[in-house]
A = this chain, B = another copy of it.
Amino acid sequence: MTLEQARALDAADPLAHLRDRFALPGGVIYLDGNSLGPLTHAGRAAVADCVDRQWGDRLIRSWNEGWIDAPVRLAMKVAPLIGAAPHEVIVGDTTSANLFKALVAALRIDPERRVVVSELGNFPTDLHIAEGAVACVPGATLRAVPRADLEAALGHDTAVLMLTHVHYKTAERFDMAAWTARAHQAGALMLWDLSHSAGAVPVALNAAGADLAVGCTYKYLNGGPGAPAFLHVAERWHEHLESPLSGWMGHAEPFAFADRYQPAPGMKRWLVGTPPMLAMASLEGALDLWADIDWPALTAKSAALFDILARAGEAAGLPCVTPLDPAGRGSHISFRHPHAYALAQALIERGVIGDFRDPDILRLGLTPLYLSHEDVWRAGERLREVMAAEPWREERFATRLAVT
């Protein structure tokens, strides 16, 4: 592809106008929106309003003027992005905490089913939290196996199959309907981690018949660093599952100040402590962007951006570990190279921000809301330059930063 061809694609891009909704810095091509989405103007304005007017001027009164409803109000905006009904979602806490709640609750349904099945190499917090969750339910265990052995690992003892829909390294995407059906066939619940899916690919939890889902909002949903996560529980489970983190915000009447815990009906029972309103405001502002999104246009552009980088990687001799079939992947592209860390750092020096994932993955996020085809074409050029420059020979890349 030539620069002119990339520009021609931009000229015809129905999403091009959305870039103006983002406060992107000059001089960088940001290919890390799959790790931390950028600031939106609406998010910035929402935080300023939350700080100055809601907190500064209205003070405690703001709890009655919208704050207390934020976890439910935001859920209504997240639900359509994951194919769930609004009353099946709640926004709050971290992905890890929500995973813990969902896993412990699922493990308590049936004493004959006390195994969590998951994939080795899943995003670490999923496996780590599953270790913590099984330790909270007598007889429960975690069975983490390679992807090829997942189906065989399901059985009469399985409480829940926990999978990450889009893999954080490779961007491989599970077939949600097929795997949910396999879990159900074994009599197990299906729990999806949508952290790399929400806002990246169309997600249809209810169409697939999924039981539980969690996910983060600071990647493709641009909620801000450490923005609150979401939890989905299919309606049929609402009255059968209870949160082990039985905090006052999940009480049926939080302000009755009762000694005994009584879970709220619906999704509110999954709330724990006081919601972080500044973080909620930032997310709420950013979510408004999604009201008018044309999903077919979004996925078509994601695929077009992928192709530009896949070709550049191929020309540079970099093996791509992400599936070439768009239906089989998320919205990032990953290359394997023994010196991936040095490659990522050298790209950052040249204004192309991607990231590195241990031990050998260069990961580049493709976010059609604010990246142009020209951006990605230029990033491809930088990639080819960097590969030619062999930055791994440079001493300064010998020591890794703490966060990579």
Contacts and interface: CB of A to CB of B under 8 A. Distances in A.
Interface of A: 23, 25, 28, 30, 32, 35-36, 38-39, 44, 47-48, 50-52, 54-64, 67-68, 93-97, 100, 104, 120-125, 127-129, 131-132, 135-138, 144, 216, 218, 224-229, 243-251, 254-261, 272-280, 282, 348, 353, 355, 357-358, 401-404
A357 to B, nearest CB: 7
Contacts of A243: 132
Given A277-B224, A404-B255, A247 B96 contact: yes
21 contacts: A32-B59, A32-B60, A36-B60, A39-B51, A39-B52, A50-B225, A55-B224, A93-B97, A93-B273, A96-B249, A104-B136, A124-B248, A124-B257, A125-B248, A131-B261, A216-B274, A225-B277, A226-B273, A226-B276, A255-B402, A257-B358
Given A25-B57, A47-B278, 12 more contacts: A25-B56, A25-B58, A32-B59, A39-B56, A59-B353, A64-B403, A96-B273, A124-B258, A127-B260, A132-B245, A136-B137, A144-B259
7 closest A-B pairs by CB: A94-B273, A96-B247, A125-B248, A132-B246, A136-B136, A226-B276, A225-B277
B259 A225 contact: no
Most chain B C-beta atoms within 10 Å of own C-beta, residue among A52, A278, A355: A278
Contacts of A245: 96-97, 100, 129, 132
How many copies altogether?
Answer: 2
Contact of A274 (B59, B218, B256, B277): B218
B244 A136 contact: yes
Contacts of A144: 259
Nearest to A144: B259
A36 B58 CA distance: 11
Nearest to A404: B255
Contact of A276 (B44, B48, B227): B227
Contact of A97 (B97, B138, B358): B97
A125 B60 CA distance: 19
A41 to B, nearest CB: 10
B59 A25 contact: yes
Contact of A131 (B61, B246, B257): B246
Contacts of A132: 243-247, 261
B229 A94 contact: no
A127 B35 contact: no
Nearest to A22: B56
A97 B224 contact: no
Given A96-B247, A127-B259, A226-B276, A36 B59 contact: yes
B124 A254 contact: yes
